[in-house]
Structure 1
Amino acid sequence: LGKFLASFLIVAVALACTLPFYISVSMLGNVDHGAILMGYLGLLLLSAAYISIGLFASSLTNNQIVAFMLALFIGIFFHFLFDMMAAGTTGWLANLLQTLSVSAHFDSIARGVVDSKDVVFFLSLVVLGLLLAEYNLIKKR
């Protein structure tokens, strides 16, 4: 949990460093504040999900490079491949694959529409990644 919180804090600080751009642009013109702020929320949720996936991958191996490659593969799978597979199918399978796609949930939040199913999806990924990482670490002891 400490590694997760530290990594999440680094991401939050990095995103906070972009706030001056948002403030300056909003002073110069008319911006959709809701969409921008929800975009920040979506980025925080997306980052938390990917951090927990990375921690899970790290718990599977002692090699940092293998852990990175595994986390990258899982992240790409959730972000791109579910969308591609959903585009090639129809019916309930397409709906299932679209539901598992990270990009579909992020796109919804980034448009400024915060649906509880999107937030629950990201929080579920975070909890799942952390629980799987904890399980693997307990199993190794």
Structure 2
Amino acid sequence: MKKLLFIIVCLIASFGGAKAQVQDSPTTMKVYCEVMCVQYNLFKGDVNAVVDFGIADKAKNADGWIYNTETNKKMSFASPMSVFAYMAKNGWEYKDAIIITEANGIKGKQNVWHFILTKEMPIDCTPEDIIGNIDYRNK
């Protein structure tokens, strides 16, 4: 009888200790973008930035330039790190970088920097939320 009572107490204790684990659904998600820095001036190290926010519906619409809203021209950056600093000011964080050397006619070989950046966004964010206040225009 003592053994039966002991078994019942153990069973009750084990059921009482086993609580349902409720997982909260995530409220944010990590979004990614690729920034490609293209050197455009033969005599200076200035670069333009091509951005892919990963929000395009078609491949031809994937990439766009960063524009200066005041001048209505492509934004010119002093170096790839200037592009990175600009994106960081807009909430993007560094994830990875890739440098690809491409053959390019008169100039010879040209380095193209690709930065992979991340940003934490609400799960229900829109493409406009992802872009934020960056003046981004398709090519």
TM range (shorter): under 0.3
Q: Which has the higher helix share?
A: 1
Q: Which has the higher strand share?
A: 2
Normalised to the residue count of structure 1, the TM-score between the two structures is: 0.24
- Higher RCO (Cα < 8 Å, 6 or more apart): 1
Rg: which structure is higher? Answer: 2
Normalised to the residue count of structure 2, the TM-score between the two structures is: 0.25
